[in-house]
Amino acid sequence: MTVRIGTRASKLALTQTQQTADRLAGVGGFPVELVHIRTDGDILKGSLSQMGGTGVFVTALRDALLRNECDVAVHSLKDLPTGVPVGLALAATPPRVDARDVLCARDGLKLADLPSGATVGTGSPRRAAQLRAARPDLQIIDIRGNVDTRLGRVPGLPGNTTDQIVPGKSCDLDAVVLAAAGLERIGRLDAVSEFLETDVMLPAAGQGSLAIECRTADAPRKAGTAEGSQGVLAQALAALDDPDTRLAVTAERALLARLEAGCAAPVGAYAYRKGSMLHLEAVVCAVDGTASVRDKRATDGLTEVGATLLGIELAEVLLAGGAADIADLHAS
C-alpha cells in the first residue's frame, strides 16, 4: 500500500511533512506519497488573527482526510484547534523540538538593544502582547507570509534574496519574531539574533511540536479498547509518538480548552516533564501589553488524564486571577 500524506505546499510544511513521511516509511516499510492541499490560510489575504487565526491552515487538511483524499495529515500542532472533529484522531506527536520564539533583528540586535520606536513584525497577538509588555516603546507591525517572506522584511539577514527597501514587502522592519522550530526545520537558524526565553515570551500551546492526524479507524489502538487499528500504518504511527511530548501538549491544550481560548487569544503556555513531574506555566495578556496574569502548576500524574487535569487546574487559577477581564479569550 502507498500511504498518502496530506500537507500544505509552503516550504516549511513540505519540509516537516517530508521528514515525517520519511520516518513513517522507514518504520512501516511502505511507500509514501505527498498530497498537496490548499487551505484558506494560503489563499486569503489580510490579518491572520482576523481570518480565524492559525486554524485556517487546518480545516482543508482535515476535510481531505475525511473525504479519503489522504490517509495522514501533518500539522504544526500549535495550529490545531483544541477540538478534534468526529472521525479523526491525533495519532502521533513526534518528539518536540525547541519550543521558544526567536528574534530575528537587523545587525544582530537583541530585544533589549532595539532602539526606541523600532519596528517589530509578527502576525501573532500572543507575541505582540508579550513584546509590548517587555518593550512598550516598540512599534509592533502585523505581518503575514511564509517564513522566508517574513525574514525578508528585515535587512541584512542571512539567506535573504534582496536588500531593496520596499514598504510592506522587503527590508522595511527592524526585526521579526518567529518560532525557533520552523527556522530549524528549514535551516535558517542563522537568521536568529536572540532566542527569547520563556520568562520573556511563553510560546503558543503546542509550539515546536508536530501533530499527525488520521481517521479514527486507522489510528493506533489504545490498550483495553477495540477502537482503532493494529495495522501497519497504525503501528508506524505509534512508533513515531513521543510520550513526554504528548503529555506536555495535552496539558497545554487542556488549558486552552478550559479557557475557551480562540486561535487569536493572547495566551502562552509551556509544559515539560522533569523527572517524575509534569510542569505547566501559562500567561494571559492584554493585547496592549499593559496587564497580564501568569502562574504555574505541576503534577506527578504522568498520564493523559493527569496532564488534562493539570491544564484545567491552571486555567482555573488564571480565570480566578482575572484572565477573562484582561483579554478577549474568545478571539478567533
Residues noted as catalytic? 79
User: Are the CB atoms for 216 and 4 separated by under 8 Å?
Assistant: no
CA distance linking residue 121 with residue 101, whole number of Å = 13
Q: Which residue bears the cell 526545520?
A: 185
Grid cell for residue 245: 511530548
CA pseudo-torsion sign 199, 203, 205, 206? negative
Bridge partners (DSSP) of residue 33 are: 4
Burial of 96 (C-beta count, 10 Å sphere; 0-12/13-18/19+): buried
Grid cell for residue 327: 483579554
Q: Collapsing DSSP states into helix, strand and coil, what is residue 215?
A: strand
- Give one word for 108, left, alpha or beta, with left for phi > 0 and alpha for psi -120 to 50: left
Q: Give all strands of the β-sheet with 292-299 in edge-to-edge order.
A: 267-274, 277-285, 292-299
What is the identity of the amino acid at 54?
T
Q: Per this entry, what is the length of the chain?
A: 332
Grid cell for residue 304: 493523559
User: Are the CB atoms for 248 and 277 separated by under 8 Å?
Assistant: no
Instruction: From 104, 129, 73, select the one nearest 179 (Cα to Cα).
Output: 104
Instruction: From 264, 133, 115, select the one nearest 175 (Cα to Cα).
Output: 115
What is the Cβ-side half-sphere exposure of residue 94, based on CA atoms within 13 angstroms?
Answer: 21
User: Are the CB atoms for 271 and 280 separated by under 8 Å?
Assistant: yes
